[in-house]
Structure 1
Amino acid sequence: MVLPLIPLIVAAATAASATVAAKKGYDSYQNVKEAKEIAEATERKYKRSFHKFEQARQQTNAAFESYGETKLMILNGTMKSFVKNFRKLKNVHFSNKTVIDSIDSVSNVDHFMREVEKQTIHASQIVVSGISALAGGGLAAMGALGATTTFAAASTGTAIASLSGAAATNATLAFLGGGSLAAGGLGIAGGMAVLGGIALAPALAIGSLIFASSTEKKLEEIKKQRSEIEVEIKKLDAARNVLDEIQGYTLKMKQLAQCCDQLFAKYIDKMKKIISSSGSDYMKFRYEEQQVIQRAYQLAVIMKHLLDTPIINEDGAVSPLLKEVMAKTEKHLSQSDWE
């Protein structure tokens, strides 16, 4: 009498197994769906962040190059003209401080003039050869680093080749790395670290994650990778913020250099007229004429401070001197007694 119950038990067991299988199948489907949604959303978020970072990197590089070209034009223009005409003067002696901080003795004037002359010669070599010859980040390095730093890497006659060497590489890696990042201070070494983060996007490998044998395990892996990529996104955002800051400083320095250059050009023209009408002996000039010469010299020193001041140092961080130099330059240029 028991035997007739067996088919019922088997049927019940079969139904239970089907229910369990259906539940596992549904869970697997839900895991696959959730994993795919997480992977795709994380990838979209990463790509948005990287796109913004890449824009900031390109814009910062463009700002460096533009400022670098401005520096070269000033050195080969007004600074070169200043050296040429100031060298015509004799018995030059400034009895009062007429420059930033200040260089006021004859010996210091001579030293300053030699340094400026070296820079104008280097700039002239580059301009004559064509600015486009500054390959490998040289023009960006000229903008990012001080004129003294970039030209120091160049021996006489090889300025163009040398500018695409160590100085250019340091500048490039520094701004690619975002300088001194708020999220860890990566510096130059961070150039490769941040760029290395780009590889994490393909690492999502959505297809292989979705079709793994254990969808539950793969869902956990997706969640873990999402956390890792969120960290990389924060690094990219921090790098972008620093790049935006660096770009802002670069544009401001370019504007200050151009403003100073306009005033400088006026005083160089005045100096030319004085030499033409009154000769070359500074000690025989009238007081007003001596004042013009002193002002022209003062502007040369202000300009050299600007051009020599790096936007970023060799560690990739914003130069600690930058704000001070900018403030002093603005103060000097805003003086009401400039004619």
Structure 2
Amino acid sequence: MSSFIEAYKRTGNSIIAYKQVVNCDDKSLQDIVKGSFSSLEQVFEEVDFYVSTETKRGILKNTSKILGGIVSLGGSYMLELHNKHYSDIYEAIYKPACNIIESIERETNECLSLIGEQLTEVNKILKPVGSILDSRISSEPAIRHSVTRINKFKTGFNTSLNAGFGGLVGGSTALGAWGLVSLIGSASTGTAISSLSGVAATNATLAWFGGGSLATGGAGMVGGFWVLGGIVAAPIVFFSTKSAYKKVDTIKEKKNKLTEESGKLIKLTQQALIHLIEARVQQTKITTLIAEYAPKIQDELKLYKFHRSFWKDLLGYKMNAEQEEHYNNLNKLASELLDKLGIK
């Protein structure tokens, strides 16, 4: 116990002191909290509760604490003990976990915003291609499939851009979140998220950011809200010694809740870091795709328009050979790009 006292006097935090003197590699968060409280309980009176008696004020304070303890049947002492331990949990576990995940969240949202801007560029590229492919009635399944997928991309794009996850994040970030999950994600049912739309796509995207649905052991949509919308940190609380005995149970409940929330944050941090890494990878991937396909599609659009016949298009006549070649090239390039963007 002498080693804990030394560590506690040095750090002023029972959690940090406990971790310094006890190997916690195999201990759960609850075990650490429980063990640190047990150690704190043994030294609190000696180290924290009573103040120095070298001054008259110190003597008066200690006398007041003794009388308060008698009146409250020991409640004031226990309340100060639990208040201190709550503060230690907050400062050593909860607050650092909040800071870490908030940092990850900021970086992730910045990356998602870039992805959103890139997908806006993709939308501009695909829009005229979709109009051209759709303007010609074709019995070819490949053409119809491309038109369907371009429309699916447009639907997902517009839904995500306008929804913003209920105002949780800006349009570009929401768009980037949808794009990222469409590229690599699947809903808890195993369905590709790129095949979903509307509320279903939004919910599946949020659940993916939360590490999967609750049923599969993830944090679900709530976890997604945390990652994308930012953590709302719990305020530190401190209970006055008035009616101390009644408040001890309350602060014990608060400690348990804080420990539980800390555990959720730590678990969510691991998942959020994976998402950040994935977002960076996919952002680079989309940059490469745009650099590869945008010039090719723009060139084919120019050549298609150059060889098109206004009257043949208007009357629905067969395209000339050059126009048909560039029409098919546009379909091929759009199909390849959609494949690589995960739009099935």
TM norm structure 1: 0.52
Structure 2 residue 142 is the aligned partner of structure 1 residue 109: yes
Aligned to 1:303: 337
Aligned to 1:187: 220
Aligned to 1:268: 297
Structure ID, larger Rg: 1
CA distance in 2, matches of 1:87, 1:76: 16
Asked if 1 retains the 8 angstrom alpha-carbon contact of 2:115 and 2:283, the reply is yes
What does 1:61-72 align with in structure 2 at a 5 Å threshold? Answer: 61-72=109-120
Q: With CA pairs under 8 Å and 6+ residues apart, which has the higher RCO, 1 or 2?
A: 1
Structure 2 residue 101 is the aligned partner of structure 1 residue 53: yes
Secondary structure (helix, strand or coil) at the match of 2:272 reads helix
User: Alpha-carbon deviation of 1:251?
Assistant: 2.9
CA distance in 2, matches of 1:252, 1:150: 18
Asked if 2 retains the 8 angstrom alpha-carbon contact of 1:179 and 1:242, the reply is no
Aligned to 1:42: 89
User: Alpha-carbon deviation of 1:115?
Assistant: 1.6
User: Residue 43 and residue 122 in structure 1: after superposition, are their counterparts in 2 closer, same or farther (change >3 A)?
Assistant: closer
User: Residue 277 and residue 299 in structure 1: after superposition, are their counterparts in 2 closer, same or farther (change >3 A)?
Assistant: closer
What does 1:226-265 align with in structure 2 at a 5 Å threshold? Answer: 226-265=255-294
What does 1:55-204 align with in structure 2 at a 5 Å threshold? Answer: 55-77=103-125, 79-83=126-130, 107-119=140-152, 135=164, 136-137=166-167, 139-145=172-178, 146=182, 153=197, 167-168=201-202, 171-172=205-206, 175=209, 177-179=210-212, 184-188=217-221, 201-202=234-235
CA distance in 2, matches of 1:67, 1:193: 20
What does 1:12-51 align with in structure 2 at a 5 Å threshold? Answer: 31=78, 33-44=80-91, 45-51=93-99
Tell me how many residue pairs correspond in the alignment.
251
User: Alpha-carbon deviation of 1:296?
Assistant: 5.9
User: Residue 275 and residue 186 in structure 1: after superposition, are their counterparts in 2 closer, same or farther (change >3 A)?
Assistant: closer
CA distance in 1, matches of 2:255, 2:136: 70
User: Alpha-carbon deviation of 1:214?
Assistant: 3.7
CA distance in 2, matches of 1:51, 1:71: 30
User: Alpha-carbon deviation of 1:37?
Assistant: 2.2
When you count helix as a share of all residues, which structure comes out higher? Answer: 2
CA distance in 1, matches of 2:302, 2:334: 18
User: Residue 223 and residue 251 in structure 1: after superposition, are their counterparts in 2 closer, same or farther (change >3 A)?
Assistant: same
Q: Which runs of 5+ in 2 are unaligned?
A: 1-62, 184-191, 310-317
Asked if 2 retains the 8 angstrom alpha-carbon contact of 1:141 and 1:168, the reply is no
CA distance in 2, matches of 1:87, 1:194: 39
The letter for the 1-side match of 2:141 is N
Q: Which runs of 5+ in 1 are unaligned?
A: 1-17, 92-105, 154-162, 311-339
CA distance in 2, matches of 1:239, 1:64: 18
The letter for the 2-side match of 1:307 is L
